[in-house]
Amino acid sequence: MEDLKFGTKRFALRIVKLYVALPKTTEAQILGKQLLRSGTSVGAHYREETRARSTAEFVSKLGGAQQELEETAYWLELLGDSEIVKATKLEELLNEPDELGKILTTCIKNAKNNK
């Protein structure tokens, strides 16, 4: 689980750096702020699960992190598809929501099975 704590924080920092590098156009800033909010929320949701009082609460917190990952992927796709950011610069970052999501799914399944 420590790897996931590190991974979600590293992901958030990469999102912050992308946001800082975005053009200052209205479109880029609006999409960027959405991306910044969702991309940094993943780790916050993950950290909240460490204080879960029940399996249901644990699963709920991880589910929230998964939702934020999906939303983050959407904003990344829009930034690339709108050509605000070159798609080639987003390729690696676009893979991370998928990878983190798979890990979270495994954690959720394990929690439900150990219930």
Q: Identify the pLDDT of residue 50.
A: 81
Question: pLDDT higher for 114 or 93?
Answer: 93
Helix H or strand E encompassing 69: helix 55-81
We find that the CATH architecture of domain 2-113 is: Up-down Bundle (1.20)
Mean pLDDT of 61-85: 96
For a pLDDT cut of 90, what percent of the chain falls above it? 80
1 pLDDT higher than 80: no
115 pLDDT higher than 80: no
Q: Are 45 and 68 in contact (CB under 8 A)?
A: yes
Long-range pairs for 34-41: beta carbons < 8 A, 24 or more residues apart? 34/71, 34/75, 35/72, 35/75, 35/76, 35/79, 38/68, 38/71, 38/72, 38/75, 39/11, 39/12, 39/15, 39/68, 39/72, 39/75, 40/12, 40/15, 40/16, 41/65, 41/68
Mean pLDDT of 37-66: 92
Most confident of 3-7, 12-16, 42-46, 98-102: 12-16
Q: Identify the pLDDT of residue 114.
A: 83
